[in-house]
């Protein structure tokens, strides 16, 4: 029998606030811009894991959360927590903390500039200026 209490709504909100204020950093398993529409899983600096649904490069909702001690909440359980269900970090936090650039946008991976043309899959998401700098920095 597991005596570990479930993750509370207050714990989830504290975790999300830590992401917002930068006290908890995230490392995505895959570049969110490469996912474009689907789940992006992140490892957090505090040992937690979070999965966000990225809808056309827009932060949509928290799909799953796991703690280092094995507790987890799936989409349905998170949906029963009103403050978590309604949570929206805003566009700038979605970009600066989660790497999700905004609805139907792509951003330069280095400087964050919004790209006016969708990049091809074979090219990294770089603006013209950063691409030219990268070309100059390549070893021969």
Listed by start position, the domains of the chain span 9-104, 106-140
Q: 124: how many CB neighbours lie within 10 A of its CB?
A: 15
Token pair belonging to 37? 């529409």
Place 7 in a pLDDT band, splitting at 50, 70 and 90: very high
Closest CA to 6 of 79, 78, 82, 86: 78
- What does the pLDDT read at residue 108? 83
- What does the pLDDT read at residue 122? 47
Note whether 126 and 134 are within 8 A (CB): yes
First to last CA, the chain: 61
For residues 83-107, give the mean pLDDT.
Answer: 90
* Cβ neighbours for 54, distance < 8 A, ≥ 6 positions apart: 32, 35, 36, 37, 38, 39, 40, 60, 100
Residue 2 CA to residue 24 CA, distance in Å, equals 28
Residue 72: strand pairing partners: 66
* Cβ neighbours for 81, distance < 8 A, ≥ 6 positions apart: 9, 12, 73
HSE-CB for 13 with a 13 A CA cutoff = 10
Confidence check: pLDDT of 139 > 50: no
User: Locate tokens 């809808």: which residue?
Assistant: 55
- What does the pLDDT read at residue 119? 53
Instruction: List pLDDT tens digits, range 106-136.
Output: 888 778 888 776 555 445 677 778 877 765 5
Instruction: List pLDDT tens digits, range 19-71.
Output: 999 999 999 999 898 888 899 999 999 999 999 999 988 999 999 999 999 99
């Amino acid at each position: 029998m597991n005596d570990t209490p479930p993750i509370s709504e207050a714990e989830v909100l504290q975790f999300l606030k830590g992401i917002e204020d930068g006290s908890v950093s995230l490392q995505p398993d895959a570049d969110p811009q490469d996912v474009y529409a689907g789940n992006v899983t992140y490892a957090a600096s505090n040992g937690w894991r979070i999965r966000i649904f990225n809808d056309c490069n827009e932060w949509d909702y928290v799909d799953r959360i796991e703690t280092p001690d094995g507790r987890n909440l799936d989409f349905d359980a998170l949906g029963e927590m009103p403050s978590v269900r309604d949570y929206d970090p805003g566009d700038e936090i979605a970009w600066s903390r989660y790497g999700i650039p905004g609805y139907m946008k792509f951003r330069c991976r280095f400087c964050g500039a919004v790209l006016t043309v969708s990049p091809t899959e074979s090219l990294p998401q770089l603006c013209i200026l950063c691409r030219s700098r990268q070309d100059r920095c390549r070893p021969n």
